[in-house]
Every structure is written in structure tokens, then in C-alpha cells.
Structure 1
Amino acid sequence: MVSEGVLLGMGNPLLDISAVVDDGFLHKYDIKLNNAILAEDKHLPMYDEMAKNYSVDYIAGGATQNSIRVAQWMLQIPGATTFIGCVGKDKFGEEMKKNAKLAGVNVHYYEDENAGTGTCAVCVVGGERSLIANLSAANCYKSDHLKQPENWALVEKAKYFYIAGFFLTVSPESIQLVAEHAAANNKMFMMNLSAPFICEFFKDAQEKVLPYMDIVFGNETEARTFSKVHGWETDDVEEIALKISQWSKASGTYKRITVITQGPDPVVVAEDGKVKKFPVILLPKEKLVDTNGAGDAFVGGFLSQLVKEKPIEDCVKAGCYASNVIIQRPGCSYPAKPDFE
């Protein structure tokens, strides 16, 4: 049986402001499709502009929180998952808390008095998405919150940990605490490459924690950027996945597994010096609503079977199922019950 609090996620909780926009809007704010960036000053007016000129959905988001919500949905066991991050003391923060509780996730937010809850503009054109995150309060998470006895108790209770690479920009110290705890207690610690800019500009922070990662997730663009940054001189996703899986490890309990998604192309899994490929569920173009949350949902589905100690094949299958459901709906949302066998 899956125990309460078995899976813990830590990351940047963001309220997604999602809308189908047009090419002119992308051009105006210098936005590339299929990308994820942090908002600069030039992007700040776009949040209001989206709300004013487009039909907007508000959805509790942020990469790690999405994955944890999807894992919770797949498991259907209230309180099986926990999420930690920082929100502001405002209506968006309250909205997020309400959303997460409804989803069955046990959230322990640190509430910042001075910054507003973080938001993420999700600009959708032709089903493809681009993310511009204004971290705001999410950027204010402190490891002191994690060290509080009631929060550290959640870390001790969990057996699996998942953190998106985006959190490296916020609290590498918190990541290190959890990573070292996992290694010392034979628990499983997992991270995501998350975005090309993380591999490029947070290379040192990423490298410091890489030895602790038992599973590394990412997509083909992130994998190629990782390869370039490390001077590997290969664009071959299978080769890169293998190389990442063979990076030195802090604990010998688990051999590292690298899992790279490639949109409609097969998922690449590198483990034990070998690569396996798993086909995804192909979706007719007219059924694609938006790709926002597809990668997060894949991870959530994957984790839902991992905590049940299912084989990797089943984890990948569940990941493909979850992402297939999510891309047929706006944002990272899903029906009441999963239909996964």
C-alpha cells in the first residue's frame, strides 16, 4: 500500500495565467514558443494585458506542483503526496491553497509577507506553449522553513523526493538538505533538467546536486543543452541520456536512470549502460489543446507508479498516459478520475 506522505515535492508554486494569444503578442514581448524563461522588466506589463485582452484561465501551477498534483490524481489516495514552496499572503496564495487541497495534496507553503504569489504567463499559439515566470514570492523560499520540526517531519516521512530544476534558482541549500537526507537514508531523490537556461546559467548548482539524483528527467532540448554546456559534442539524445546516467553518484543504493521525453517521439530511458525507447500515445493534431504541463504530467504519472514500486516500463506508460490526458485540456488540468490500467 502507498503510505501517507510517501512522495514529497519542493519547488516554485505559481498561479498559471493561461491564454491562447497571437503571433503579434509573442513578437511584442520577444517570446519564443516551446521555451521557459524568467520574466524580465520588459515582460511585466504582459500579465495585465493577457487578462484584459484574452480569455484567461487561472490554474494552480509551477512545474513541481503540477507533477505532484498529477501523481496525486493518478494515485487517488488522499494525502499520499506533499508539496513545499513559498506563496504570498494574498488572494492568489489563498486560491492556490484551495486548489491544492481540493486535489488532495498536503501543501505546506511558506507565506511571505512582502511579495505577491508568483505567476506564470502561459502563452499558447497553435497548441504550442511558452512560459514566462514571474517568481515573486516563490523566489523567497528559505531553508529555515524546511528545517522547522513540523516541515522536516514531512521530509523524514517521505520515501521519494522530486524537485524541478527551476528550484535551483531559489534555494539550492534546501535541495542539498533533502538530497543528503535521501542518500543517507536509502530514499530516492529525483530532479528535472527543467529548461535550457537552468543547464546554462545554473550549471554549478546543478552539478553540485547531480551526484545525488537517482532519476534525472528532461526533454530533448534540455538534454542537448546539457551536452553542449559540458562540451560533450553530441546531439544524440540516447548518447546524452547514457552519459548523464553514468555521472558519478553520492550513494550506491540506486543506479541512476535518465528519462528523456521528446514530444511525439519515443521516450528515451538510459539505465545500467543500456538505452530503451518507449513509444508515446500519438494524438491527432485536432485534439491537441495545449502542451503546457505535458512534461510535468509525464513526471507525475511516472512517479505515481514508482511509489508503488512498479517496473520502469509501467512508470513510463503511466507518464505517457498522463501527458496524453493533459495536452487535450487547457493548462495542467485533468478529469475527476484517471482511466489508467
Structure 2
Amino acid sequence: MSATAKPQLICLGNPLLDYQATVQPEYLEKYGLKPDDAILVDAASNEPRMAIFEEMLGFDDVKFVAGGAAQNTARGAAYFLGAGQVGYFGSVGEDKYSEKLLEENKAAGVLSLYQFQKDIGTGKCAAMINGHYRSMVTDLGAANYFTPDHLDKHWDFVEQAKFFYVGGFHLTVSPEAILKLAKHAQEKGKPFVLNLSAPFIPQFFKAPLEQVLPYTTYVIGNESEAASYAESFGLPSDKRDLLSIAKQIVGDSQDRTVIFTQGLDPTIVYSAKNSKTYPVRPLAGDKIVDTNGAGDAFAGGFMAGLTQGKPIDTAIDMGQWLASLSIQEVGPSYPKSKVEYQA
């Protein structure tokens, strides 16, 4: 794809190569993991869970999929928007794994605006599937070294874009880069979307999250992330009361909307102007192949709807439609043969 493309949507996140395989509950217990977990590990810390990556190479059903939450979302948005409409910032190593990611993005129509690290390998994520659950262990590798000056080098893409999407995982890497995009978006009146991404983000990265939230137009999360937010911010409401948590995140803003997905249960959308729930699209259980990346797919469809100027009802439905499509594939993927959206 030509670098002269002018993406309408810019995404920022942590590009990773996903290792994906089926595991038994005993394997998760061995490493102290929950069935639906998301944790970070560091190769430099002698963390025992680093062994998972080597062990998974020997699993019979191991698959390698281009991953990283915001990158999955970028590919999902491009599924609707077409080639050259979505640009993606992140940091990778100069290795065969980043070549794989580049190929996947190109095939999906996403413009890769990577920052390359010479001496650090591309990040990886072990996605361990147990039934409809998935537990993720991530070694950020090169993704952890993204710097705001890389945005400056490609600022023309930022200025041309009309919408911005940031995965909350990037709050662990470069809050400065996120704020740089967020401030530009606010100054120019462009929608800025933040995904909470995982329960550990509100729990352990509360300070950078607090810095970024005032700039958000949309905040996306699921029920686990909402509960973590309520606990971290000391909200008096029940951690299962998603509407009350959404109200707290919106605060006194007249322009912020909070969207909480909750698996098969209805999606909750709250703003100062409106409150609504949206039942998910029904899908027979025997059609569900893999729920890994369903939330990223929802965000991709939703962002595509916003970018196309659709009303929020349609954008939510596009997100749910793409999520239902994705969970019929292996990993955070979309059908190779294009399926047209049906409202």
C-alpha cells in the first residue's frame, strides 16, 4: 500500500504476534492464571510465565496470528472501510515476526506506521484457550519502546485523520504519545476513543488513565474492566452496576459516551443525553470457534461506523456484527472472503 494513503482513522497500540493454543484448566493453574486473564510479563525479570511461550511451540494446535488489541481493531475497521483508510502506529523489532505483521496489515488494507527497534524483538502474546475463555500472557518486547517523536515524524497522517482510537494497553507504554494525539483531537474537534482493554489497566495504571480520560469522546470496555474501574476509583456503586459506573466515567461531560460490552448480554451505551441497551446478535453455539479478539472486533466495527458518519445505533450494530463474524474464525481474525454487512 502506498505511503501516500490518507487514513481517516488512526489507531495507536502495541503490535504483537499471538501464539494461540488450547489448554486444560490444569495448565492455567500451573502458572496461577485465571480462565479469562490478561497479564504482562517481562523477559528481563526471570518471570516463570515466560516459559509459556517456549512450551506453546510444542502444542499440537498452536497457531500464530497477527495480534495486539488495537491492531486487531484497525484491521477490523479496515474490513469495512477498505484499503488506505486506517493507519496504525506501534513499535516492533526488525525481525521475521514484524514482517508477518506487516503482511497481515497490508492484506487487510491497514497502513503500518511502525517504529522499528534494532535490538529488541517484536512483542508476543500467548493466548491460551479453554472453552469459550481465553487467558493472555503478554511480553511487550519492542512494543514497550514506542516514543512520541515517532508521531512527529508522521504528523501529516495525524493532521489528515478525522478519528483516533487508542488501546488502553498503550497506557503502560507511552502515555505521552496518547496525550499528544488526544490534545490534537480535542483542539481540532475530532473524536478520540479509548478502550480500557483489560482489568489491570484501571487497577495498576490509574494515574495515566486519569490523565487521558478528560480528552475522550468515547470510552469502550467490558464488564470486567468496568468492575476494575469501580474498585480502583473507589466508586460507591455495585461493581456489577455498569450503568452507574458509566455515569461516573462520563462525569459532567456533555460530549463523552461510555460503551460497555458484556459478552452475550446486552451492550450498554450511556451519555449525558441518552442511555440505551443493545441486545447482541444471536449466534448458535456450534458456530462459535474462538472468542479471542471479539472485543477488538466490536471496536473495529464501531470505529468504522463512526468514520463513515453513521448514527451510534448503526455503529454499535456494525460492531456487534463484526464481533459475531470474528468469533467464527480462529484468533482475532476476519473471513478471508469479504462478507458484506447486513443491518
TM range (shorter): over 0.9
Contact 2:102 2:112 in 1 (8 A): yes
1:35-81 Cα deviation digits (max 9, x unpaired): 21112511111111111123111111101000010000122x21000
Of residues 101, 107, 112 in structure 2, which corresponds to 1:107?
112
2:334 counterpart of 1:331: no
CA distance in structure 1 between the aligned counterparts of 2:242 and 2:11, rounded to whole angstroms: 27
Map 1:269-288 to 2 at 5 A.
269-288=269-288
For residue 207 of structure 1, the aligned residue among 210, 213, 222 is 210
Q: Which runs of 5+ in 2 are unaligned?
A: none
Q: Once the 2 structures are TM-superposed, how far is the Cα of residue 144 of structure 1 from its aligned partner?
A: 1.6
Q: Count how many residue pairs are aligned between Structure 1 and Structure 2.
A: 331
Residue aligning to 2:193: 190
State the secondary structure of the residue aligned to 1:52. coil
Amino acid at match of 1:197: F
Q: 13-22 or 277-286, which moves further after superposition?
A: 277-286
**Identical counterparts, % of pairs:** 42
Matches of residues 40-55 of structure 1 in structure 2 within 5 Å? 41-55=47-61
- After TM superposition, where is structure 1 displaced by more than 4 Å over at least 4 residues in a row? none
TM-score normalised per structure 1:
0.94
Residue 272 (structure 1) shift: 2.1
Supply the distance in 2 between the matched residues of 1:282 and 1:264 (Cα, whole angstroms): 8
| Deviation for aligned residue 1:165 | 0.5
**Cα shift readout 1:206-231 (whole Å, capped 9, x = no counterpart):** 00110000000000111111111111
Q: Distance in 2 between matches of 1:331 and 1:53?
A: 16
Task: Determine whether 1:161 maps to 2:171.
Answer: no
Whether the 8 Å contact between 1:301 and 1:320 is mirrored in structure 2 is yes
Structure 1 counterpart SS, 2:71 = helix
Shift of 1:127: 2.3
Question: Could you tell me which of 206, 226, 229 is aligned with 1:226?
Answer: 229
Mapping 1:117-128, distance limit 5 Å: 117-128=122-133
Aligned mates of 1:284, 1:78 — CA distance in 2: 32
| 2:248 alignment partner, one of 234, 240, 243 | 243
Q: CA deviation at 1:89?
A: 0.6
Aligned residue identity for 2:196: L
Unaligned 5+ residue runs, structure 1? Answer: 249-253
**Does structure 2 retain, via aligned residues, the 8 Å contact 1:16–1:122?**
yes
Instruction: State whether structure 2 residue 149 is matched by structure 1 residue 147.
Output: no
Q: Which amino acid letter does the alignment assign opposite residue 169 of structure 1?
A: T
How far is the alpha carbon of 1:247 from its aligned partner? 4.9
Does the 8 Å CA contact 2:21/2:59 hold for their aligned counterparts?
Answer: no
Amino acid in structure 1 at the alignment position of 2:135: S
Q: TM-score, normalised by structure 2?
A: 0.94
What letter is aligned with 1:126?
G
Q: Alpha carbon RMSD of aligned pairs, Å?
A: 1.3
* Alignment partner, residue 31 of structure 1: 33
Deviations for 1:226-256, whole angstroms, at most 9, x for unmatched residues? 11111112120011112212255xxxxx710
Does the Cα contact within 8 Å between 2:196 and 2:220 map onto a contact in 1?
A: yes
* 1:274-317 per-position Cα deviation (integer Å, ceiling 9, x unaligned): 32000001223222211110000000000111111111000010
Q: In the alignment, which residue of structure 2 is the partner of 1:251?
A: none
SS in 2 for 1:53: coil
The answer to whether 1:297 aligns with 2:303 is no
